[in-house]
Amino acid sequence: GMISPGDIVLTISNSGESNEILSLFPVLKRLNIKIISMTGKPESNMAKLSDLHLQITVPQEACPLGLAPTSSTTATLVMGDALAVALLQARGFSAEDFALSHPGGALGRKLLLKLSDIMHFGEALPKV
């Protein structure tokens, strides 16, 4: 499959009770895969079964009905960004590493592209 020994799986669920995610836990445990969960409920099954739990509890959703995930999704994005930056620093990830893994994007192009890569020479030089 797509999960290999040494991988870490990050699971995300505000309730921490999503059956489609919890159903993966026995297989992950059998493969000795470390599980980090991000939930809004530290007492949830997902939090309890994980090797590490990141709590992202919000007092209430911004949705006036209290139904649509709004504040909780923002908390998830914030925690995810913080985790990504911490990993970037811990691994010593450089701007060049970023460019090499995103060569076609605007940031990769900005970091990798040289004028000589796009400049016309000789007969290819446009003339007016």
What DSSP line would sit under 14-53, residue for residue? SSS--HHHHTTHHHHHHTT-EEEEEES-TTSHHHHHSSEE
pLDDT at 52: 98
pLDDT at 123: 82
pLDDT, one tens digit per residue, over 89-107 is: 999 998 888 778 777 777 7
Under the phi-then-psi rule, with left for phi > 0, alpha for psi from -120 to 50, and beta for the rest, what region is 49? alpha
Domain boundaries, the chain: 8-60+70-114
pLDDT at 118: 74
Percentage of residues in the chain having pLDDT higher than 90 = 66
The CATH code for residues 8-60+70-114 is 3.40.50.10490
Q: Is the pLDDT of residue 22 over 90?
A: yes
As a whole number of angstroms, the distance between CA 32 and CA 48 comes to 16
pLDDT band at residue 66 using 50, 70 and 90 as cut-offs: confident
Give the sign of the dihedral formed by CA 73, CA 77, CA 79, CA 80: positive
pLDDT band at residue 19 using 50, 70 and 90 as cut-offs: very high
CA atoms within 13 A on the CB side of 73: 6
pLDDT at 81: 97
How confident is the model over 43-70, as a mean pLDDT? 96
